[in-house]
Amino acid sequence: MVVKCFQKLSIAFLSVMEGISMRSTAEEQIRTFDQQSAHWWEPNGPMVLLHRLNKLRVPLVVEGLIKVGKLDRKQRYTTDALKGLSILDVGCGGGIYSEALAKLQATVVGIDPAQHLIEVAKAHAEKQSDIRDHCQYRAESMEQHWESAVGKYDVVVLSETLEHVRDKSTLLKQVAAVLKPGGSVFISTWNRTTFAWLMAIVLLENITKRLPRGSHDYDQFIEPEETQGILEGYNCRTIECRPFYLKFWEDEWVWVPFRKFTYALHAVKE
């Protein structure tokens, strides 16, 4: 009761002070990120937190694939660790995660409904001679993509994407459909807790401005148990769920032992 009252009072205070809404539609979130497209690849620009997140999410994929026997341990630190694997990046934005995976020689397809961001991703990849032949982008949603890609991918990644989707069950059903048997899905997203709300929306969006204001809706955050349950319904068994946290005073993401804020999940299609 106390927590709920605090949350309502905080929303009211921020709304009065800044005229903000703590909820946003999917279309509004797409527009918010589209407006950031010109600054997407600035290392210390508005998307700095996504750039810094690669420190965790890229090794997560490599280590996860080693654990399930898809990669040899000898490949852990090689420059072509993901060679021969096909990866779909759902909600790829301007390509920060996609390019990092392609740098390890994976064949990557990035999809996102934000047209301006896809144009940014394409333009940036075209300048990278080592990845431009195996890193492609399409301005489309998963709903538009999945039927033509059933059983196509070794890996699907959804990083900071699930919290922007209202119908999570349908999205994860489509993810399971495009995976090959034995394929892996890697998800990183915000937990649905008061701590996550305080961090993402109150602190990062409205106080420190480290995230675009209006880019998140607390009601769309999802608990790890719920994510795991949905995936299990589509024959994807969770292998690992690791919580992580933003040291916001340093703009650094770190693995932690508590699930109060964000988590990364690895599941395999059986």
Binding residues: 57, 91, 112, 159-160, 163-164
* Annotated binding-site members for Mg(2+): 160, 163-164
Query: Under 8 Å CB-to-CB from 134, ≥6 apart: which residues?
Result: 102, 105, 106, 107, 108
Return the structure tokens found at 48. 């700095």
Going by C-alpha positions, the residue among 106, 77, 76, 75 that lies closest to residue 89 is: 106
Could you tell me the sign of the dihedral formed by the alpha carbons of 179, 185, 190, 193, in that order? positive
* Annotated binding-site members for S-adenosyl-L-methionine: 57, 91, 112, 159
Q: Where are the beta strands (DSSP E) in 26-171?
A: 86-90, 107-111, 135-138, 153-159
Distance of CA 45 to the CA centre of its chain: 18
